[in-house]
Amino acid sequence: MYNILLVEDEPSVLKNLKMKIESSGVHSFQIIETAYTAEEAWKKLKSLSVDVVISDIRMPGLGGLWLFEQVRCSFPDMICIALSAYCEFEYLQQCIRIGIEDYFLKPVSLEQVKEKLLSL
């Protein structure tokens, strides 16, 4: 079983993504927690058993790239998937440098989510 932490500052996007994962039919994944900021997610990661972090990149505060850097330093085997509403090459470059497993542009489709989860 893979435990997922979803991080997204927009409540409607978070709810939609959570619904897509839960209805994907991939039963080996469960969302154990959500967070609205990178800082909140980082605090939760320290006390939870998480296998996958799916996070927005641009959020108020430190943002998803900061979160991914912290994860890579402290939990190098954790799977990281980036979400962004912006198709900016700089973000993609930073994700590659950090070692993110995938980068999705929002809105993310159910098929994208299912395909990625099945490939892990």
Could you tell me the domains of the chain? Answer: 2-119 (3.40.50.2300)
The segments of the chain whose pLDDT lies below 70 read none
CA 98 to chain centre: 14
Cα distance between residue 14 and residue 12, in whole Å: 5
Q: What is the pLDDT of residue 31?
A: 94
Three-class secondary structure of residue 109 per DSSP: coil
| pTM score, whole prediction | 0.92
The encoded tokens of residue 79 equal 């799977």
Among 87, 71, 99, residue whose Cα is nearest residue 7: 71
